[in-house]
Structures are given as C-alpha cells and as structure tokens.
Amino acid sequence: MNGQPLAGVRVLDFSTLLPGPLATLLLAEAGADVVKIERPGSGDEMRSYEPKLGPDSVNFALLNRGKRSLAVDLKDARAVERVRALAARADVLVEQFRPGVMDRLGLGYERLRALNPRLVYCSITGYGQSGPRAQAAAHDLNYAAQTGLLGLAAGADGAPVVPAALVADIGGGAYPAVMNVLLALRQRDLTGAGCRLDVAMADNLFTFMYWAIGNGLAAGAWPLPGAELVTGGSPRYQVYRTADDAFVAAAPLEEKFWRAFCGAVGLDPAAHDDARDPAAVKRAVAERIRARPASHWRGAFTDPDCCACVVQSVEEALADAHFVQRGLFARRLVAGDRQIPALPVPVCAPFRAAALAAPYPRLGADDALLDLAGWA
C-alpha cells in the first residue's frame, strides 16, 4: 500500500479508444491497479494510430500510462474462464461494448456478480443500456448533434461549428464513469455490495446545457445559435480578430469586469452600455481590437479583472509560464528511451504517486497474470 486513495483497488479494463481508457487512467493515477484486456496481435485499435511514440501511437500511450496489459482472445472459452477468475477478485470492471456483447462473451454483469457480489461493473456506451438508440453506432459529434449541444454553436454562416474538444467522450463518458465508480465504491463500503453502472455519453451532455434548458422550460425562450449570452450574442462573451489576424477571447460578463475590459480596449464611454444595442457595441469593440496586433493586446490585458486574453495555440499553452509553474507537465510518460510530458489529468497532487515517471504497457506484457488465476 502506498497511501494513495485507490491503492489496492483492482480494475479490469475492457474498454478501447478514449472514454473508458481515460476513465481508468484517472483511477490508475489515484493508485488503482488497472489491467487492460486487449485483443491478441493488434490490441486496442488506438495503438495503431499516428503519430507513434515507440511502437504504438502517442494517443494510446498518453491514455494508458501506468496500466498493465493482457492479450486475451475473448472468443476462446478457456481464456474467458481465466478472465472470470480475475473478475472474481476485481473491485471494478469497465467495459465499452454495445449492450449485450459482454453477456454473449460470458462476462455479463449477472454472470460476474454471481462470482463476485462486490464487483462495481461500469458500462460506458453512447446511448445507454436501454432505449431505441441503445444499439446505434455513433461518435462524439453525433451525441452533440442529437442532444442539441451542437446546434448552439454557429459559425459566421450560421452552420454549426465542429467542437474542438470531444465533450461527449470526456465530459459525458470518462468523467461521469469515474465519479460513479467512486460513488459505487463508497456505497460498497457501507453495504458490502457492488452494482451495475449505466453511463450513457449522450445523456450526460444535457448537464452542459443547464442554462439553455432553463431558459426554454421556464421562460419559453429556447436558445438560438450564436445569439445568446455565452454563444456569441453578447459583446461580453466574444472572440475578436486582431490586426495581425490573431484573436482575442473576451469574457467580461459581470459589470465590474466589463468596465475594466472597456478601459483596456479604449472603448468610447458612450458605447459601454450594451443593453440597448449589443450588436452595435460588439462592432465597436471589434473595431478597437482589429486596430492593434496581438502583441499590443497581450500587454493591454494586464488588469486581472479584464477577463480577456489572446488565443494561444496548443504549443504556446504548453510553454505558458503559469501552467509550467503549476507543474502541469512535470509528470513523464516513458516509452523505451523516450520521455514526454504525461497527459495532465484532474487528479489532485495529494492523491497521486510520488514517482513522476511511468511507462505505458506493451501489448500482453502482463499475460502471466492469467496463469495466477487472479490477483495474488
């Protein structure tokens, strides 16, 4: 035991690609022993992605740091029996197949609960274990489209803009999975019993639209794309182009922040009141920002109440002195003789291992675990 909150917690991970692997990465970072079950020969499909970090993709390596790997043919009844022996001693199981697949493999919840009543069994899917779309194939963009989230973000031509973040996979899948696994483990502390968790990525996107749902249900004012307070309808929450075609992100929503912002951009006091004609004020601010290059605005937004900054690239953000000083990139991902910063994850420092460097697992590197008929 190393003092981490999840030390001694055993996790079987049948998931692939992003949602499940990110969820189990968070558990691993908090001390859980995560054993990844992969296909012999090829493993998780993400291993084959580009670019590579060693023999596997950097995407796979980032999401699977600190885990172990078993290469198992789940169509082989004898192999499945050995996996069941692992499940009999596991605390948590995470799977990401379509509903019914684990049952057909002989690894469904009811089968494993009979072996291990304390098992927390977490299923992550797009649309959940029930409902008309339960068997439908889809990806992040589909979930955002069908829940109304995508329709709230419009470009200059009025068409929805493809989100830069995989909100459904991460915010609707990985994070809720971790939260509910931890709740289930706490409940197990009280009752002694595990449970089945049904995490549906599409379901969990509605939380992100609390304000849109509230406006519609309470006032009948269903939001329009690009027209609301936080979707581009206000000069106080907007992206403005600079003279050198960089961009300023401005979010001075509250009045005191708005006054500081207006002062920083030198806006005519007559244009400060944006309640009567927000479009006109937006144009006035845009003219001010457009008149100067990004370098000017970096220096102009020194007032901490401005709520404005120049939009950075990912490369610039990784070199940003604030994030570097906070140690966001201090942990290392080891791949043979190479090391890169590990993926920053929302697990606070007191819960993480003292060692900063850890490798990702090579496919089948821990197959000997199967011969032990479970964890020692």
Residue in the structure block whose two tokens are 């460097």: 357
Q: How high is the pLDDT of residue 373?
A: 61
Q: Are residues 37 and 159 in the same domain?
A: yes
Helix, strand, or coil here: 224?
coil
Taking each helix axis as running N to C, give the angle between helix 255-265 and helix 278-290, from 0 to 180 degrees, rounded to the nearest 10. Answer: 40
Q: Kindly tell me if the per-residue pLDDT of 1 is higher than 60.
A: no
Q: How high is the pLDDT of residue 226?
A: 86
Q: Are residues 338 and 286 in the same domain?
A: no
Q: Are residues 137 and 246 in the same domain?
A: no
Contact, 240 vs 248, CB < 8 A?
Answer: yes
Q: Are residues 342 and 366 in the same domain?
A: yes
Four-residue CA torsion sign, 141, 143, 146, 149: negative
Residue 271 is assigned to a structural domain of this protein: yes
Number of domains in the chain: 2
CA 237 to chain centre: 24
Structural domain that includes position 253: 238-321
Q: Are residues 37 and 151 in the same domain?
A: yes
Q: Are residues 289 and 245 in the same domain?
A: yes
- Polymer length in residues for the chain: 376
Q: Are residues 252 and 144 in the same domain?
A: no
Helix, strand, or coil here: 246?
coil
Mean pLDDT value across the chain? 95
Q: How high is the pLDDT of residue 2?
A: 59
Q: Are residues 49 and 179 in the same domain?
A: yes
Q: What mean pLDDT is predicted for residues 166-187?
A: 98
Q: What is the CATH number of the domain that holds 161?
A: 3.40.50.10540
End residue of a domain, out of 304, 321, 338: 321
Residue 213 is assigned to a structural domain of this protein: no
Choose among 292, 286, 254, 241: nearest CA to 267. Answer: 286
Contact, 120 vs 194, CB < 8 A?
Answer: yes
* pTM higher than 0.75: yes
Given pLDDT bands bounded at 50, 70 and 90, which one contains residue 71? very high
| pLDDT tens by residue, 29-67 | 999 999 999 999 999 999 999 999 999 999 999 999 999
For residue 54, what are its two tokens? 């060693």
Residue 70 is assigned to a structural domain of this protein: yes
Choose among 81, 82, 91: nearest CA to 13. Answer: 91
Q: What is the C-alpha separation between 46 and 50, in angstroms, rounded?
A: 9
For residue 161, what are its two tokens? 């803009």
| pLDDT tens by residue, 133-162 | 999 999 999 999 999 999 998 887 889 999
Q: Are residues 42 and 57 in the same domain?
A: yes
HSE at residue 230, side-chain half, CA atoms within 13 A, is: 9
Choose among 91, 97, 98, 140: nearest CA to 112. Answer: 91
Q: What is the CATH number of the domain that holds 276?
A: 3.30.1540.10
Q: Which residues are catalytic?
A: 139, 169
Residue 126 is assigned to a structural domain of this protein: yes
Q: Are residues 311 and 339 in the same domain?
A: no
Q: How high is the pLDDT of residue 371?
A: 80
Element (H, E) at 161: none
User: Going by C-beta distance under 8 Å and a sequence separation of 6 or more, which residues neighbour residue 70?
Assistant: 35, 36, 37, 38, 83, 364, 366, 367, 369, 370
End residue of a domain, out of 288, 305, 321: 321
Q: Are residues 159 and 290 in the same domain?
A: no
| pLDDT tens by residue, 354-367 | 999 999 999 999 99
End residue of a domain, out of 321, 337, 363: 321
Q: Are residues 251 and 356 in the same domain?
A: no
